[in-house]
Chain A
């Protein structure tokens, strides 16, 4: 065995409906303290896997453990919510509340019935807003924020949850390109500060650049796991994504990146 610790371990997982299995007999361990990206073509089950880990979907069989021996499916919801935070793909912000109020909801797993914040909760909220770089926005109303700012606020919310593990479902989908990189850089900083991060990603080159480990999925199964250098190959892109591409070294980050192959009569060739 390696000395690396496991953050999430999944055994014999089945997820799906009676008629259609989306994931069947999946086994996986996700390393602690790393950024792990789940990639794969649409419908491969990567979001389903993330949703199952975060208890949004109930598997028909199998077990999920975090931090060694805590059973995600059998422990109390609050207990798990103190160890595992999720940023869903589509977030829903109530109208007319301030940034700080929204971030404070991240403390829910630590609060009583009435949601009264104590001193420690206020400290955690301030810290989360500072880490996400939104301290100046604290008193702004949610409705006034740009898409990039709003996504940072949601990151602050899951940071306020004070968990070791962050799960994010395509967090960059609705952001423009500069905000995508801003967000990914933020996640990298959080990872350096000790968080285990699992992201479902759509952009393969971003996945290669930011992830320590790629989990490649196809038709509900894991095809390969490894560092981008190990698993991100032209053959994999063809087999899994049905994508004809060359893989070169990203000159900026020194990680693999893909470039689509041109067609014979395409404009770029003619020029």
Chain B
């Protein structure tokens, strides 16, 4: 199924705006779409305080986290040419989470600005470990993904251990771990926005070379691409984005896996189109997950990560069943 790129983008942006409006409107105090616009425009509006202080930052953070995770997944799938890969499946996000929890347990008074570097260190260590353990499996996507899943499980166990032995504010930690955007405000925006602002353009610069990499290492090399350098650069960008997302709201699973697949089936292979489309799709997924997490059984707020897992995990199983090149 191939669709005109223009139509895909218009549709995606329309859906994004629709869910954004609904996301801001929904909650304990319902705000009608028209009132949302009013609140955004003027400070006199009765809903201005709620919208600007609580719902708008939460919306933006959901969207940016979704975009970051989705781009991360697209890059990882592209460079290791593995349709089953994404930052969460490969254990990158669990590694980042483990590092942040370790920080919280052993240094409870650490300022929040220490969280992103901790997440980065965790994410990169997890990736280095994965690449070392599975260095002979790079050409066997399913086996490679399996090593990643095992690593993710190990990190998960370590997190459980730390939280059981050191019962800190377990609720906050739990919320953060399952990927929640609850209580996120303007203070959290600097944790994610600069990363995207720098890394998204960089990813776009690499887009054409990623297309060439899709022809195989041999052809890419003979067309003048420095394959090893490109692969390393993309992995660094991908892991930085995933770790930044984790440092804001824990691990929101499967967004990085599902978004690139969805967009590829509509747009084909050109990364210059895939990158922005995947970013928008990721944003839609996390925004809608957070929306439904709030409105499904009020007043309980589910973490958004639980909802993305509900959609993403069956999709992953579907991919595994369909996948032939074991």
A93 and B207 CA atoms in complex are apart in Å by 17
Does B269 interact with chain A (Cβ within 8 Å)?
A: yes
- Point out the residue from B205, B218, B223 that lies within 8 Å of A109, measured CB to CB: B223
Does A44 interact with chain B (Cβ within 8 Å)?
A: no
Closest to B2 in A: A96
Q: Is the CB of A92 within 8 A of B224?
A: no
Does B268 interact with chain A (Cβ within 8 Å)?
A: yes
- Point out the residue from B2, B207, B211, B224 that lies within 8 Å of A77, measured CB to CB: B224
Q: Is the CB of A88 within 8 A of B219?
A: yes
A114 and B208 CA atoms in complex are apart in Å by 5
A80 and B224 CA atoms in complex are apart in Å by 7
Does A242 interact with chain B (Cβ within 8 Å)?
A: no
A54 and B227 CA atoms in complex are apart in Å by 13
CB interface residues, A 76-131, toward B, < 8 Å: 76-82, 84-86, 88, 90-97, 105-106, 108-109, 111, 113-115
A-contact bits for B217-244, CB 8 A (1 contact / 0 none): 1110111111000000000000000000
A51 and B211 CA atoms in complex are apart in Å by 22
Size category of the B interface is 20 to 34
- Point out the residue from A94, A111, A114 that lies within 8 Å of B207, measured CB to CB: A114
Q: Is the CB of B272 within 8 A of A114?
A: yes
Size category of the A interface is 20 to 34
Q: Is the CB of A113 within 8 A of B225?
A: no
A90 and B216 CA atoms in complex are apart in Å by 9
Does B215 interact with chain A (Cβ within 8 Å)?
A: yes
Least Cβ–Cβ distance between B176 and chain A, in angstroms: 38
B276 proximity list for chain A (CB < 8 A):
none
B212 proximity list for chain A (CB < 8 A):
105, 108
Binding site for A on B (CB under 8 A): 2, 205, 207-208, 211-212, 214-219, 221-226, 268-269, 272
A selection of 12 A-B contacts at a CB cut-off of 8 Å is: A54-B218, A55-B222, A56-B221, A56-B222, A77-B224, A80-B224, A81-B222, A92-B215, A94-B268, A96-B269, A114-B272, A161-B223
